[in-house]
Structure 1
């Protein structure tokens, strides 16, 4: 793989998170859940329950989307493998709580698998940062 191809692939993988964020903006749980493979596992930010089925993932987003989430990606760390890519980093999830906009600084990991229908999320873990942070404290 040439350096130019690798840069293109890295941009392609980074764009998958943009697509996930755009799906959140639709406020449609089915649209978001369609980005996940049938065997995907979701370990979400604001739920203690690990979601292991398409129905459970859709149900999580049905509730979460009511908070009008939008992710602001602060850091991507992308690794490419044969048919698998991993994007882990930091994002801020902006949500509405009782008409008050708040933000949750999170670590995330998306694992994608290439298949007949393109890239699908097979693993998604998102958790609030364990220590209080502001963007300046992580070099932004």
Structure 2
């Protein structure tokens, strides 16, 4: 079943909003819960991360390092069957030298898989 572009964009935007909320509240467990159990995260600065436990550890490390104010601005989302992808821009702040926060930004691609309960969970997530 193919969803309309408007519907999938709304659903994926909600998933992105949940992700930002979980991360910005410092809850790595809640962030990891938004990924499929077999998900893969491909950060540009780390090794490939596989599975919920490793994904939680990765995000917990960034949260502990002071990364905050994460935002995803979705540019587009499309779906076919139980798979969807979203492309967008991300930004976040992290401690810089001295007391100044450093702002980082880049592009993000996330592939989502529809779960049995109808929710969408990330199964592949990468950014630069």
- For Structure 1 versus Structure 2, the TM-score category normalised by the shorter chain is 0.7 to 0.9
> For 1:38-87, what per-residue CA distance to the aligned partner results, in whole angstroms no more than 9, with x for missing partners?
11000125x32110122211110111012232223345221111111101
**Taking structure 1 as the reference length, what is the TM-score of the superposition?**
0.77
Where do residues 12-51 of structure 1 align in structure 2 (5 Å cutoff)? 12-45=11-44, 47-51=45-49
Say what the alpha-carbon RMSD is for the aligned residues.
2.1
Mapped partners of 2:82, 2:72: distance in 1: 24
Where do residues 81-96 of structure 1 align in structure 2 (5 Å cutoff)? 81-96=80-95
Answer whether contact 2:114 2:120 (CA < 8 A) is retained.
yes
Change (3 A) 1:31 1:75: closer
Which of the pair has the greater relative contact order for Cα pairs under 8 Å at 6+ separation?
2
| Larger gyration radius, structure 1 or structure 2 | 1
**Taking structure 2 as the reference length, what is the TM-score of the superposition?**
0.84
Which residue number in structure 2 is paired with residue 63 of structure 1? 61
Answer whether contact 1:71 1:92 (CA < 8 A) is retained.
yes
User: How many aligned residue pairs are there?
Assistant: 124
Mapped partners of 2:74, 2:111: distance in 1: 16
Which residue number in structure 2 is paired with residue 104 of structure 1? 104
